[in-house]
């Protein structure tokens, strides 16, 4: 899958990782602590560096591309407990106030490549 957001080499590595994960059934987000650079952990969520970052968002170069992931294997917002919802929105609010873009694909959207809820947090050079 060619992405208009990623560098072609990063996109190729991402596609290869998706194929490997599909063969094994491995959920990279359930095992984030073994395959990600952890930025910050909370009770129910972790923020990690995206291994396959976007190079551009909203026509501006991306400076940081993090992923906010629930520690539990949750697929949709509807599965969040009240505690998880509160923590999630506290974290998102903190990043919003730091000028980050916040983006999550819907559970039934074809472009959603990993079936474990995750939210993209982008800081672009335009918003630094």
Model-wide pTM > 0.85: yes
How many other C-beta atoms are found inside a 10 Å radius of the C-beta of residue 123? 19
Q: Residue 3 falls within a domain, yes or no? A: no
How many other C-beta atoms are found inside a 10 Å radius of the C-beta of residue 35? 12
C-alpha 121/C-alpha 68 separation (Å) is 7
CATH number of residue 95's parent domain: 3.30.428.10
> How many residues can be counted in the chain?
128
C-alpha torsion angle, residues 81, 95, 55, 118 (rounded to 10) = 0
Per-residue model confidence (pLDDT) at position 94: 97
Q: Look at the chain and report how many structural domains it folds into.
A: 1
Contact by Cβ (8 Å): 57, 124: yes
Contact by Cβ (8 Å): 117, 76: yes
Domain that holds residue 86: 8-127
Contact by Cβ (8 Å): 45, 87: yes
Q: Residue 2 falls within a domain, yes or no? A: no
Token representation of residue 78: 């509807």
Per-residue model confidence (pLDDT) at position 114: 85
Tens-digit pLDDT string for the chain (128 aa)? 546 788 989 989 988 988 888 888 888 898 888 889 999 999 999 999 999 999 999 889 999 999 999 999 999 999 999 999 999 999 999 999 999 999 998 877 767 678 899 999 999 998 87
Strand partners, 61: 56
Q: Residue 1 falls within a domain, yes or no? A: no
Give the containing element (helix H, strand E) for 41.
strand 38-41
């Amino acid at each position: 899958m060619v992405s208009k957001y990623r560098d072609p080499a990063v996109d190729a590595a991402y596609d290869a990782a998706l194929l490997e994960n599909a063969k094994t059934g491995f959920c990279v987000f359930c095992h984030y602590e073994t395959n990600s650079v952890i930025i910050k952990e909370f009770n129910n969520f972790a923020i990690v560096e995206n291994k396959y970052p976007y190079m551009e968002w909203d026509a501006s170069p991306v400076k940081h591309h993090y992923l906010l992931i629930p520690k539990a294997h949750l697929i949709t917002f509807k599965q969040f407990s009240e505690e998880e919802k509160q923590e999630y929105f506290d974290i998102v609010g903190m990043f919003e106030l730091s000028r980050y873009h916040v983006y999550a694909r819907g559970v039934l959207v074809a472009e959603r490549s990993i079936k474990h809820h995750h939210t993209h947090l982008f800081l672009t050079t335009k918003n630094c």
